[in-house]
Structure 1
Amino acid sequence: RVFIPFYTGEVVTAVFGDQASYERLHRTVLIMGLLSLASTVFGGLRGGSFTYAHATIDRQIRNDLFRSVVKQEIGFFDMNKTGEICSRLSADCQTMSNTLSLYMNVLTRNLTMLFGSLIFMFTLSWKLSMITLINIPIIFLVNKIFGVWYDMLSEETQNSVAKANDVAEEVLSSIRTVKSFACENYESSRFMTFLNVTLKIATRKVFVVIGLIWSNELLQMGILTIVLWYGGHLVIDNKVESGLLVSFLLYQFQLGENLRELGEVWNGLMQAVGASRKVFEFIDRPPRVENTGTYAPDAMTGKIEFRHVAFSYPIRPDLPIMEDLTFTVEPGEVVALVGPSGGGKSSCIAMLEHFYEPTSGEVLIDGVPVREYDHKYLHTKVALVGQEPVLYARSVSENIGYGLDKYDDDMVQKSAKLANAHTFIMNDTTDGYNTNVGEKGSQMSGKEKRR
């Protein structure tokens, strides 16, 4: 496409110039046709390549973010709401991958055409080119100024969208509670409040876009007017041919279009930068509780010791939950932890499962600190039966075998029989062990889920 304006001028010269001829016209038009065909072919290949790159980048960013998030300690999820994390995983990653694939495509195309246009313009007339060249640094400076402002507003937008998504996730995940209190309208209004905040930020972005467009258009039209005036004088004085001026003006229009699209690329990249900050913050964040232990004995007797343990939650470090706690549970012994709400009963279990690290002291199993045990091994030996069972939207068989690397139908059915669940799985479900239990076990009764 860089050659098209040049040969358009050649066509004008071949028709209206002193050396006008059919032969020159036909040759020039043929060259233009071949160049247009080549531009079409390579444009399609370029578009396909960047579409594939978009899919690859999107997959990699989401995978890196998800892997990093699931490896974080429980304290990370205490500090960051689930809806906000999901927003980073969906909206922010989508913005990043879309921007990179789309705007990198536009960037490479427009940079190539921009430099190609400048080379042809200097070849045609260095005097006219110098007038155009003065404008380029000013346009880049204007885009830089507006781009910084756009970057700031883009980050605010992503944070606002994340908060709105958190509200939606919270409400939808507890929709039965919402309906039991008849709070549908209240929650809808609360969600709209967060969307209004996003709209206010978008309104501020509108003024940035308007200012950028006005600035670029005024600069480009101003320089085009000067080129037309000066170029017209050169043609009248017979210092340049009319076909050359036509080619130069077409390159001028093309250059202006390239600069405009590069400005959009800059703003788009600033938007991606705003979205990427939190994503890369999560990706680069090392877990505060490392699961790097390697100790995996052949047998475990089950002696539990808390030695002078002190603990406070990461989100409330100034509020101690326990101080200098010491006790021992012998193998086979049944112990009940009794105390007021907030006394640290659940915290003891959480530290035993190595969800948290004590502020001071040690938690040991068979005389070995829990942090030294292999992560997978520890959780095959330490089990927790919670008050509210958690089931995934998978088959009954997959839920029973969850956490095991390998299992077969016999193992699953044996476990179900021990839990007295085999009978209702076979008789009361639609597809036996292949029945999908629904999100959070919604297709099962409370009693069935607990079994």
Structure 2
Amino acid sequence: MADENGMNGENQHSESGKGDEKTNSVPLYKLFAFADSRDVVLMIVGMIGAIGNGLCMPLMTILFGDLIDAFGQNQSNNKVVDVVSKVALKLVYLAVVAAVAAFLQMSCWMVTGERQAARIRGLYLKTILRQDVAFFDVETNTGEIIGRMSGDTVLIQDAMGEKVGKFIQLVSTFTGGFVIAFFQGWQLTLVMLSAIPLVVISGGIMTMVVTKMASRGQSAYIKAATVVEQTIGSIRTVASFTGEKQAISNYNKFLVTAYKSGVNEGTAAGLGVGVVMLIVFCSYALATWFGGRMILERGYTGGQVNNVIMAVLIGSMSLGQASPCMSAFAAGQAAAFKMFETIERKPEIDPYDNRGKVLEDIRGDIELRDVYFSYPARPEEHIFSGFYFSVSNGTTVALVGQSGSGKSTVISLIERFYDPQGGEVLIDGINLKDFQLRWIRGKIGLVSQEPVLFTSSIRDNIAYGKEDATVEEIRAAAELANAAKFINKLPQGLDTMVGEHGTQLSGGQKQRVAIARAILKAPRILLLDEATSALDAESERVVQEALDRMMGNRTTVIVAHRLSTVRNADTIAVIRRGKIVEKGSHSELLKDPEGAYSQLIRLQEVNKELKQESFSPKRSSKRSASWGSPMNVNDSAMLDTEDHSEQPLKQPREVSIRRLAYLNKPELPVILLGTIVAVVNGVILPIFGILVSRVINTFFKPPHELRKDSRFWSLIFMTLGLVSLLACPARTYFFSIAGCKLIQRIRSMCFENVVRMEVGWFDEPDNSSGSIGARLSTDAATIRGLVGDALAQMVSNLASAIAGLVIAFVASWQLAFIILALIPLRGVNEYVQLKFTRGFSADAKMMYEGASQVAKDAVGSIRTVASFCAEEKVMQLYRKKCDGPLRAGIRQGLISGAGFGISFFLLFNVYATSFYAGSLLVEHGDATFSDVFQVSPFPIPLFFTMYVYSILRPISMSQVFFALTMATVGISQSSSFAPDSSKAKTAAASIFAIIDRKSKIDPSDESGTTIENVKGDIELRHVSFKYPLRPDIQIFRDLSLSILAGQTVALVGESGSGKSTVISLLQRFYDPDSGSITLDGVEIQTLQFESI
């Protein structure tokens, strides 16, 4: 069913969307505009934790300087163990502080990010529901809204969650590093400060470029989401007209645009990191040369110089490591622009505006006085120009006329979906604008031409007519609307789920539920827009009688094409081209045979006779008989009558990394080139470690050697920086191509498989358009946590590990084994943390899909929501659906915080233990001062590789620095990626669950026979059928029906008797459980699908 928003707004929006590609964003502070007092407390505590965590790294440089002096100045005596053990104990104390601070940082920011993102989703939906109908006609559509709620809020949450804590941590590291550096040696610090402006400039340029590329990509994904929503929302129409290929083509067109933006975004980010790497390596080169001079001329010690260098580099590199955070902020700011713009939009017709008149009651007099009106989407087309219309209270007025004459526009103006550009709409002589909108709409009941039901139970749908309605009131309304008969036949009665858009009910059943909803509202003014158009003759008669009783003391306006339904109206008004050309009762208007009403009567009678001729006795004699078990069963028997919210969540199977890699096979040449560059990038870490150990040793050499060696190592550091400048952007470029192409391919494969599913698959609530749209928008974006940059980092880390291990074991195999033995402790911590977070993210994702469906239903049926003042009821249901995911997200934040803190504790203790063990080896002559500082860094890359291989999350490329200290920074932050990788694995499993499912009725299947000249003989032979979702209710049992070529056969019966099911079987929306259906004697299941 098409949504109520209409196509005009959609077309206009798609055109205006081109202008949206220019980068607009909100200020960073505005992302937190919706934080409550609890969030403020969480952010303050999280900020304190992040500052404390950030300061731990600069403080470690002081201890590291003491370690260097302890080793360097005690190489020839037996005091080295005593001195080093004291420093190692301080590292243990620092580990405790870092663990607590890291826990507060991660848990507080993750929890507040989850809370604020949930609040933004709710505010966005609430604001959308309060907008006037013109907003949906002109500025947006359902697909875009759901796309923003599913996709953009992920980016916003990413920009206001743990990455804020990480950014504060890095800023604290930057500040602490430079404060310590100035205290240790201000001259050397000032020299090294020259790199800071260059780092800031390069980071700023990268952020701007990445923001622009991300905005373009997100715009393309929003348009793709609209295609998904329209296709799945109208899947029966798409299947009937074999429109799957066109839908896939439209979807893929937007994916190509997103792919190009993704590659450009990745390349820009890689280039930015490469420039930062070059600047930092050059800074180290400068520091090495100038530090040597400080030792010779100013009396600095080797430990003091290294302390300053490390503190400044850690501070400088914290800015480089902040680049991913800044990119996330930029993407979140860009995504928030349209959402916040909508949240701040004040509609001209506001249902939440409590101003206006509220009376005890109204009489029901209606008047449209000198009204001028044109629809906002078509301002040049005037519907009314000086239109006058009035209805006295308690009377019934019918509006008739040709399609497009303006009949339904009268209904829209009375409901105040729109305001006229000129003139007034009056109720009881009071301008409609002067009433409180919610109150006056509460006095008006509307039954639309196209009945709109929500994806919930029949009880809930009827209850939209009145808050806190009792079961007795709901049953009474259903009885009056002639709906009780079919409801009582359902196993779950009023608790039966109606499916998406009510597709599990027949047209007549949906209309009767909608009428019951209006009856329950007990309005003073009743608006009926083709209210009985979908009913069969008997149901129409009974419902019309009920409506006649209901209209007895109410003002009623009827819009009708079928003139037989308005004969009893007090007044009939004929509208033509926005003017009332004739007015009177049925009998009065018939007195003028040339009048407009009489002409309409004659035209309908002619059409009726033409239809009757097609069922004349001459042809009916050829009609075939139908045999089968007489059953008074309705189509809604297929309904899933259970409350799906109570069912246990089914989690799809995990997806192997090998399978994702196999999908990248077409990009194998690109991946090979990227791998080569990644290996080069990876070995920079162990090479840098060797250089650092040599430089540390150089600072304790005689003056003449120190002067010579410091110049030499400076040149080597500059060379290493140039290699990094080339390797970083090249690596991200090649792997961005592979990663973005993989995401494009996965999205395309998933959507292609979705549109080829049998129609019955979409009957399941988990496969509604809202749920599928959320999976394609959110899961495909989240899956980037397993591909692209992650694979690049894995290769780099593997190269680092191999080179590092070789160097470590050559230098001191004893110390290498000691440190390797400590690594599994961190591995266990990461594994346990990952298991916890994966379970939470899977549950939360599936529950959020239910919330997305609530939002889609409401937005797609905005006129119905507005008419029944159901905005708050929708919001209550949406919040209820979001409660589960929110609680899961909070638990995930606490678990992640605990894992993050423990990882710091273990990391610092690993260093304390390794250096203490190193001192013992030095004392016993099994290792030298230089060996200890060569070995210590290199088990770290091994852990990088093990960790990334297990969770496949990209680590920041700026970790390739001073091996020991820079690895500390990287490892301490790497555990924060566990939640992201967990979500990525869950998302991959969800996506592949769709891709792997084989459609039972595949429209793309080209096998089967074709009939060259179809005559049209149809036969249903001994057909038995039950709908898949209700296998306990038999729809057909041994049904036989034959239709000869050229015949016209009418299927009649009460609404819900199974008539439409025959059509569904002929179109192969479903296959029968037994029996056969043939076309020209050939079973349709053996025919090529498209030929049917």
TM-score, structure 2 as length reference: 0.40
> What whole-Å deviation, never above 9, does each CA across 1:106-149 have from its counterpart, x for those lacking one?
11101111110001111121122112211111211222222222
| Between 97-106 and 148-157, the greater mean CA deviation after superposition | 148-157
Which residue is equivalent to 2:690? none
Q: Within the alignment, does 1:186 sit opposite 2:235 as a pair? A: no
Which residue is equivalent to 1:3? 59
DSSP 3-state at the match of 1:327? strand
Q: Within the alignment, does 1:209 sit opposite 2:288 as a pair? A: no
DSSP 3-state at the match of 1:388? coil
State whether residues 158 and 274 of structure 1, in contact with CA within 8 Å, keep that contact through their aligned partners in structure 2: no
DSSP 3-state at the match of 1:384? strand
Counterparts of 1:282-431 in structure 2 under 5 Å?
Answer: 282-291=342-351, 292=353, 293-427=355-489, 429-431=490-492
Q: Within the alignment, does 1:72 sit opposite 2:131 as a pair? A: yes
Which residue is equivalent to 2:73? 17
Q: Paired residue for 1:142, among 202, 205, 213? A: 202
Q: Within the alignment, does 1:38 sit opposite 2:38 as a pair? A: no
State whether residues 189 and 312 of structure 2, in contact with CA within 8 Å, keep that contact through their aligned partners in structure 1: no
Which residue is equivalent to 2:497? 436
| Between 346-355 and 328-337, the greater mean CA deviation after superposition | 328-337
Q: Within the alignment, does 1:162 sit opposite 2:218 as a pair? A: no
Which residue is equivalent to 1:114? 174
Which residue is equivalent to 1:450? 511
Q: In structure 2, give the amino acid aligned to 1:438.
A: G
Q: Within the alignment, does 1:176 sit opposite 2:236 as a pair? A: yes
> What whole-Å deviation, never above 9, does each CA across 1:161-203 have from its counterpart, x for those lacking one?
2111111111111111100111112211210111111112222
State whether residues 196 and 316 of structure 2, in contact with CA within 8 Å, keep that contact through their aligned partners in structure 1: no
Which residue is equivalent to 2:327? 267
Q: Paired residue for 2:162, among 94, 102, 107? A: 102
State whether residues 66 and 303 of structure 2, in contact with CA within 8 Å, keep that contact through their aligned partners in structure 1: yes
- Structure number with larger C-alpha Rg: 2
Structure 2 unaligned regions, length at least 5: 1-55, 513-1092
DSSP 3-state at the match of 2:445? coil
CA distance, structure 2, for counterparts of residue 220 and residue 11 of structure 1: 24
| Between 18-27 and 343-352, the greater mean CA deviation after superposition | 18-27
CA distance, structure 1, for counterparts of residue 129 and residue 85 of structure 2: 66
Give the drift of 1:64.
Answer: 1.6
State whether residues 303 and 331 of structure 1, in contact with CA within 8 Å, keep that contact through their aligned partners in structure 2: yes
State whether residues 312 and 322 of structure 1, in contact with CA within 8 Å, keep that contact through their aligned partners in structure 2: yes
State whether residues 322 and 343 of structure 1, in contact with CA within 8 Å, keep that contact through their aligned partners in structure 2: no
Which residue is equivalent to 2:188? 128
Give the drift of 1:442.
Answer: 2.0
CA RMSD in angstroms, aligned pairs only: 1.9
Give the drift of 1:244.
Answer: 1.7
> What whole-Å deviation, never above 9, does each CA across 1:61-88 have from its counterpart, x for those lacking one?
1122111111100000112111111122
> What whole-Å deviation, never above 9, does each CA across 1:243-284 have from its counterpart, x for those lacking one?
223323332442243011222222221111111110111011
Q: In structure 2, give the amino acid aligned to 1:51.
A: M
Q: In structure 2, give the amino acid aligned to 1:300.
A: I
| Between 65-74 and 283-292, the greater mean CA deviation after superposition | 283-292
Give the drift of 1:235.
Answer: 3.6
CA distance, structure 2, for counterparts of residue 27 and residue 393 of structure 1: 67
Which residue is equivalent to 1:239? 299
Q: In structure 1, give the amino acid aligned to 2:107.
A: G
CA distance, structure 2, for counterparts of residue 52 and residue 228 of structure 1: 43
Which residue is equivalent to 2:621? none
Q: In structure 2, give the amino acid aligned to 1:324.
A: G
| Between 175-184 and 394-403, the greater mean CA deviation after superposition | 394-403
Give the drift of 1:420.
Answer: 1.4
DSSP 3-state at the match of 1:3? helix
Which residue is equivalent to 1:199? 259
Structure 1 unaligned regions, length at least 5: none
Q: In structure 1, give the amino acid aligned to 2:190.
A: M
> What whole-Å deviation, never above 9, does each CA across 1:354-410 have from its counterpart, x for those lacking one?
110000000111211222223333223222211221111111111111142221111
| Between 297-306 and 276-285, the greater mean CA deviation after superposition | 297-306
State whether residues 188 and 287 of structure 2, in contact with CA within 8 Å, keep that contact through their aligned partners in structure 1: yes
CA distance, structure 1, for counterparts of residue 350 and residue 499 of structure 2: 33
| Between 55-64 and 347-356, the greater mean CA deviation after superposition | 55-64
CA distance, structure 2, for counterparts of residue 120 and residue 171 of structure 1: 61
| Between 234-243 and 105-114, the greater mean CA deviation after superposition | 234-243
CA distance, structure 2, for counterparts of residue 329 and residue 238 of structure 1: 99
| Between 350-359 and 152-161, the greater mean CA deviation after superposition | 152-161
| Number of aligned residues | 450
| Between 150-159 and 279-288, the greater mean CA deviation after superposition | 150-159
CA distance, structure 2, for counterparts of residue 308 and residue 190 of structure 1: 45
Which residue is equivalent to 2:614? none
CA distance, structure 1, for counterparts of residue 218 and residue 132 of structure 2: 24
- What percentage of residue pairs aligned between the two structures are identical? 28
State whether residues 483 and 509 of structure 2, in contact with CA within 8 Å, keep that contact through their aligned partners in structure 1: yes
DSSP 3-state at the match of 1:362? strand
> What whole-Å deviation, never above 9, does each CA across 1:1-53 have from its counterpart, x for those lacking one?
22111101101212321695543322211111110221022101211111111
| Between 14-23 and 221-230, the greater mean CA deviation after superposition | 14-23
Q: In structure 1, give the amino acid aligned to 2:85.
A: H
TM-score, structure 1 as length reference: 0.95
Which residue is equivalent to 1:153? 213
CA distance, structure 1, for counterparts of residue 208 and residue 472 of structure 2: 62
| Between 30-39 and 149-158, the greater mean CA deviation after superposition | 149-158
State whether residues 106 and 261 of structure 1, in contact with CA within 8 Å, keep that contact through their aligned partners in structure 2: no
| Between 63-72 and 315-324, the greater mean CA deviation after superposition | 315-324
CA distance, structure 2, for counterparts of residue 421 and residue 338 of structure 1: 27
Give the drift of 1:237.
Answer: 5.8
State whether residues 350 and 437 of structure 2, in contact with CA within 8 Å, keep that contact through their aligned partners in structure 1: no
Mark the CA change 1:201 to 1:22 in structure 2 (over 3 Å): closer, same or farther. closer
Give the drift of 1:220.
Answer: 1.1
State whether residues 161 and 195 of structure 1, in contact with CA within 8 Å, keep that contact through their aligned partners in structure 2: yes
CA distance, structure 2, for counterparts of residue 384 and residue 407 of structure 1: 18
